[in-house]
Structure 1
Amino acid sequence: MTSAPSPAARLAALLPDLSPLRSSADFRLLWVQGLVTYFGSFMALIALPLQIKELTGSPLAVGAMGAVELVPLVVFGLYGGALADAVDRRKVILATEAGLGVLALVLLVNAALPDPMLWPLYVVAAGVSALSGLQRPALDSLMARIVPHEQQTAAAALNSLRWQFGAITGPAVAGVVVSYAGHATAYTVTVVTFAASVLLCLRLTPAPPVRENTKPSLRGIVEGARYACSRPVLLGTYAVDMAAMFFAFPNAIFPFLADELDADWSLGLMYAAGSIGSLVLGLTSGWTSRVRRHGLFVVFGAAVWGLAIAGAGWFGNVWLVLVCLAVAGAGDMLSGLGRSTIWNQTIPEELRGRLAGIEVLSYSVGPQLGQVRAGAMAGWTGTRAAVWSGGAACVASVALLAAVLPKLLTYDSATDEDALRGRRAKEAGTGTPEAAVPAPEAGLSEA
C-alpha cells in the first residue's frame, strides 16, 4: 500500500520545476540575461515617463508616449517574426540587445545635459518599441528549440518568474534612484545591464533558420497567419487572450478607482498586485509541469482573470480590491502558461518566428485597446462600473469562445496531432528516429 506523501514532499511538488535550467545551457544563459536586462529595462521604463512629466508637467505628454510606441511595436513585431524564421535568431537577439543598449546610452547623454531635451525621449521610446518588436519573436521562438518538448510549461513558468522579478524590483528601485540620484543614474544602471546582457548573449549557440534562403516577406507573414487560422487550438489561444485584455484591462483608470475608494495611498499597490499574484503562482508552479490539458489553463486562467477584475470593480473595500487584483494576476499567468506551452509544442519550427510575431500583436494590441475601452466606459458609466462590467464581459466572451472552439478545451499534449508532430520533429533533430518515439503512457497527470 502506497503511503501518503509527506508534507515536505508536497511542498517540494509545488516549488518551480527547475528542469529547463538543468537541461539546457542556452536556457540558463537566456534566463540570467533576461533577469539582468528586465531589471535595467524597468528602471528606464519608470525613469522615462517621470522625466517627460518633469520636463512638461503635462499628463497628455506622458500619455503620448503610448501612441508613439504602438505602431512601431506592431509593424516591427510582424516583420521580426518573419526575420526570426529567415536568419540566425542569435544574431537578431544580439543586434537588438546592442541597439537597446545604445538607445539607453542616448537617454543617459540627454539626461546629463544642462537642459535635457524632450524630443529625444519620444524618439528613443519609438526606437525601443521597434527593437523590442524585432527581438521578441526571435526570443520567444528560440524557447522551443533550446528546451525539451516536455519541459515547455516549466520553462514558461521560470520565464514568468524572471519577468515578475524585474516588474516588481525595477520600478521600486527606479523610483528611489530617480528621486535621490536623478534620471542619469537610473539610465546608467540601464546601460550597464544591457552591456552585461550582450556579453551573455555572445555565448549563445547559433540558431540558424530551418529553411535556407527564406527571406522576410509579406507573403511569409500571410503564410504564418493562414497557418494560425487553420488551427482552432492556436486561434483559440489568440482569441481568448485578446478578449480578456480588451474587456478586462483597467490599468489606465486605477488612479480614478483609488480616488473613488478614498484610498490614494493604494495606487502603487493596485499596479503591483497583479505582479504579486503572478509571482505567487510562479513560486508554486511545480504542479503545472505534470498537466497535459493546457487549453484548460488558457480558458480557466482567463475566466479567473475576468471574475477577479469584476470583483475589483464591485467591492468597495480597498483591501478586497487589492486581493482581487492579485488573484487576477495569478489567473493571467496561468492562462499565459497554457498559451506558451501550446505555442511551443505545436507550431512547426519553420513557422515559429512568424507565429511569434502574431503573438506580439496579441500581447500589445489587446491591452492598448483595453485601456481605451476602460477609459471610455468610465466616462460613461463611472469607474467602478467600467471595471466590473469589463470583467463580466471577459467571462462571457471566454465562455463563448470556449463553446465555439471546443478543441481548445480538449487539447491534450499527449494526443494532439500537432503536439505529437512537434515532439517527433524535435527528437528526430537530436538523432532519435521517429519510430522510436514512445506512445503516450496511461495514467499521466491531466488537468
Structure 2
Amino acid sequence: MTSKLSRVLPDLSPWRSSPDFRLLWVQGLITYFGSFMALVALPLQIKDLTGSPLAVGAMGAVELVPLVVFGLYGGALADAVDRRKVILLTEAGLGLLAVILLVNALLPEPVLWPLYVVAAGVSALAGLQRPALDSLLARIVPHDQLPAAAALNALRWQVGAIAGPALAGLVVAYAGNAPAYATTVVCFAVSVAMCLRLSPAPPAKDADKPSLRGIAEGARYAWSRPVLLGTYAVDLAAMFFAFPNAIFPFLADELDAEWSLGLMYAAGSVGSVLLSLTSGWVSRVRRHGLLVVCGAAGWGLAIAAAGWFSNVWVVLVCLGLAGAGDMLSGLGRSTIWNQTIPEELRGRLAGIEVLSYSVGPQLGQVRAGAMAGWTGTRPAVWSGGLACLVSVGLLAAALPKLLTYDAQTDEDAVRRRAAHEARTAEAQPGAGALPEADARPAGVAPADREPAG
C-alpha cells in the first residue's frame, strides 16, 4: 500500500537533499500568499474606482513594457552578479510598493494613477527577480530530481494561490482594500528577513557583464532549439487567448454571484494543487513535450466551458479543470528548460522564459478587457478558450520536435546530464555523485513563478 502511494504522492527528494531548497520553499510560500492578496485587491479597486472592464484590462498594458525590458535585462544580470543580492533587493522593493498601495487605500479618496504606477513597478521588479530565482533550480537540485522539484515548487505556489485569493475576496468584501494590502506588506517584511539568511550565490569567474550582446546570445540559442521555442510559443498563445482573470469581477456580477470572486481566482489553483498532490508519476515521464501540449489544450477547453455555462458552480469547476491543465503544461515546460539549458546561459534563458510566461497573461488581460467591452463578459471568455485550443493545435503541428521530445535521448538533455555528473565528480573526487547543492560552497534555492507582488 505504501509503495502504491509513493508512486502517486509528491516526490520529496529535493526537499531532503537541499537545505537551500527547503528555505526558499517556505519563503516563497509566504511571498505568494501576500502577493495573491494584492493580486485580487488591485483589479477590484480599479473596478470600484472606474466601473470599466477596459480600465481593469489596461493594467496588463501598463505592466507589459517594464516586464519585457527588465525581464530580458534581469536574465543577463542573473548570469553576471550574485543572485542572492538580486533576490534580496527586488524583494525589498516589492515590499515598498505594497506600502504605497496601503497608504493610497487609507486615503479618504484613493487615487487611481498610483495603482497603475505600482503595477508597472511590480512588473519591472518581478522581471529582474524571476531569472535569478529560476536559474538556480538546476544548480542546487540533482538532474534526476528536477521534475520532482518543479512539482514541489508548483505545490507551494498553489497553496498560496488558493489561500491568498480566497481570503482576499472575503477581506476586501467585508473590510476593504487596506487590510489586504497590509497583509501583503507584512508578508514581504517576513520574506526579506528570510532572504537575509541566504548564502551568497556568486556568478562564474569568467561571467560577462550584462549587455545587449549577451541577451542576443541567449535569444539565438533559444531560437535554434525547436523544443524550447515550442514551449515558449505554446504558453504565450495559451495565455494570450485564454487568460480572463482581469474580468472575473465582471463575470461574478453577470452571474449574480459577487460572493464568488475570490473563489474564481482560487479555483484554478485548486485544480493545480490537486494535480500537484498526485504528481509522483511525473518523475517517471520522459515525453515532457506531450505534457506541455496536452496541458495547454486542456486549459483552453476548460476556459471555453467556463465562459459558456451560466451556473456559477459549474463555472468554478471548469476553472479548476483549467488550472489542472495549466499545471500539467507548466511541469512539462519547467522540466524541459532545466534538463536542456546549459548553466552559462541559464539566467538569460530564464529572462526569455519570463517573457513567454508573463507577457502572455499581460496581453491576455488587455484582450479580455477589450473583448468584454465589445461583446460582453462571457463571450470574451469562451471565444478566448476556443482560440487557445486552435492555436495550440497549430503550434504542435508546426513544431513536431516538441511532441517527440524524450528526456533520455534528446541531445541537449543528455549533454546537460553529463555536464552535471562531471561537475559533481570534480567537486567531490572519489565520493560518488552528490547533489549539486552539496558540490558548491553555498547557494540559494529557487522560488517558483507566479506573482512577485
The TM-score by the shorter chain falls in which range? Answer: 0.7 to 0.9
Change (3 A) 1:29 1:57: same
Distance in 2 between residues matched to 1:145 and 1:351, nearest whole Å: 12
The one of 118, 123, 126 equivalent to 2:120 is: 126
1:26 corresponding residue in structure 2 = 20
After superposition, the C-alpha distances for 1:238-260 in whole angstroms (9 at most, x for unaligned) are 11111212222233444555566
Residue 276 (structure 1) aligned with residue 241 (structure 2): no
Quick one: distance in 1 between partners of 2:177 and 2:254? 32
Residue equivalent to 1:350: 344
Tell me if the contact between 2:97 and 2:118 (Cα under 8 Å) persists in the aligned partners.
Answer: yes
Runs of 5+ in structure 2 lacking a partner? 434-453
Change (3 A) 1:286 1:187: same
Change (3 A) 1:376 1:198: closer
The 1:243–1:186 alpha-carbon spacing in structure 2 relative to 1, beyond 3 Å, is: closer
- Confirm or deny: 8 A CA contact 1:137 1:360 kept in the other structure: yes
Deviation of 1:283 after TM superposition, in Å, equals 1.2
Contact 1:86 1:211 in 2 (8 A): no
Alignment of 1:83-98 (within 5 A): 83-98=77-92
Q: Distance in 2 between matches of 1:57 and 1:388?
A: 22
Give 2:220's aligned amino acid: R
Partner of residue 44, structure 1: 38
Task: Say if 2:141 is the partner of 1:144.
Answer: no
What is the rounded CA distance, in whole Å, between the counterparts of 1:215 and 1:182 in structure 2? Answer: 46
Q: Is the 8 A contact 1:79 1:134 kept in 2?
A: yes
Give the drift of 1:72: 1.2
1:180-329, aligned counterparts within 5 Å? 183-210=177-204, 212-254=206-248, 257=251, 266-329=260-323
The answer to whether the 8 Å contact 2:54/2:369 transfers is: no
Q: 2 CA distance for matches of 1:228 and 1:158?
A: 26
- Once residues 410 and 191 of structure 1 are traced to their aligned partners in structure 2, the CA distance between those partners, rounded to angstroms, is 45
> Aligned letter for 1:138?
A
- Provide, for residues 2-34 of structure 1, a one-character-per-residue CA deviation record: whole Å limited to 9, x for no partner: xxxx3x533332111111111111111110110
Q: Could you tell me how far 1:93 is from its partner in structure 2? A: 0.6
C-alpha distance 426-364 of structure 1, shift in aligned 2 (>3 A): same
Mean alpha-carbon deviation: is it higher for 150-159 or for 195-204?
195-204
Q: Which has the higher contact order (CA 8 A, sep 6+)?
A: 2
Contact preservation (8 Å) 1:36, 1:197: yes
Distance 1:387 1:59 in 2: 13
Alignment match of 2:29 (pick from 35, 39, 42): 35
Compared with structure 1, are the counterparts of its residues 41 and 266 closer, same or farther at alpha carbon in structure 2 (3 Å cutoff)? closer
8 Å contact kept, 2:53–2:370: no
- 1:87 partner amino acid: V
Pair 1:202–1:432, CA change in 2 (3 A): same
The CA distance in 1 between the partners of 2:206 and 2:411, in whole Å, is 26
Q: What amino acid does structure 2 have at the position aligned with 1:15?
A: L
Further displaced range: 147-156 or 46-55 = 46-55
For 1:382 and 1:189, how far apart are their aligned partners in 2? 34
Could you tell me how far apart the structure 2 residues matched to 1:123 and 1:317 are? 36
Kindly provide the amino acid, as one letter, of the partner of residue 224 in structure 1.
G
**Could you say if the C-alpha distance between residues 409 and 62 of structure 1 is closer, same or farther in structure 2, counting changes exceeding 3 Å?**
closer
Counterpart secondary structure, 1:415: coil
**Alpha-carbon distance, 1:313 to partner:** 3.6
1:338-386, CA deviations, whole angstroms, 9 ceiling, x for partnerless residues? Answer: 0001001111111111111111111222123334444555566665554
For structure 1, list consecutive stretches of 5 or more residues without a partner in the other structure.
1-5, 439-447
TM-score normalised by length of structure 1: 0.86
Q: Secondary structure at the match of 1:360?
A: helix
Residue equivalent to 1:66? 60
Change (3 A) 1:420 1:172: same
Match of 1:14, SS state, is: coil
Contact 1:209 1:350 in 2 (8 A): no
Alpha-carbon distance between aligned partners in 2 of 1:185 and 1:317, rounded to the nearest angstrom: 31
Q: Indicate if the aligned counterparts of 2:304 and 2:385 stay in contact, CA closer than 8 A.
A: yes
Q: Which residue of 2 aligns with 1:395?
A: 389
Work out the CA distance in 2 between the residues paired with 1:262 and 1:177: 20
* Higher alpha-carbon deviation: 249-258 or 200-209: 249-258
Q: 1:316 to 1:43 in 2, by over 3 A?
A: closer
In 2, the alpha carbon distance for the partners of 1:353 and 1:422 equals 15
- Pairwise CA distance, 1:399: 2.3
> What fraction of aligned residue pairs are identical, expressed as a percent?
81
Max Rg structure: 1
Distance in 2 (CA, whole Å) between partners of 1:258 and 1:187 is: 22
- Number of corresponding residues: 432
Shift of 1:306: 2.0
Q: Distance in 2 between matches of 1:181 and 1:383?
A: 27
Moved more, 76-85 or 188-197: 188-197
Report the TM-score, using the length of structure 2 for normalisation. 0.85
State the one-letter code of the partner of 1:126. Answer: A
C-alpha distance after superposition, 1:13-57 (max 9, x if no partner)? 211111111111111111011011111222233344455556666
What is the identity, as a one-letter code, of the residue corresponding to 1:338? G
SS at match of 1:172: helix
Counterpart selection for 2:421 from 427, 435, 438: 427
Residues 116 and 327 of structure 1, relative CA distance in 2, 3 Å threshold: closer
Q: CA RMSD in A?
A: 3.0
**CA-to-aligned-CA distance 1:221-280 (integer Å, 9 cap, x gap):** 111111001001100101111121222223344455556656555444333321111111
Give the Cα–Cα distance (whole angstroms) in 1 for the partners of residues 148 and 207 of structure 2: 34
Cα displacement (A) at 1:112: 5.1
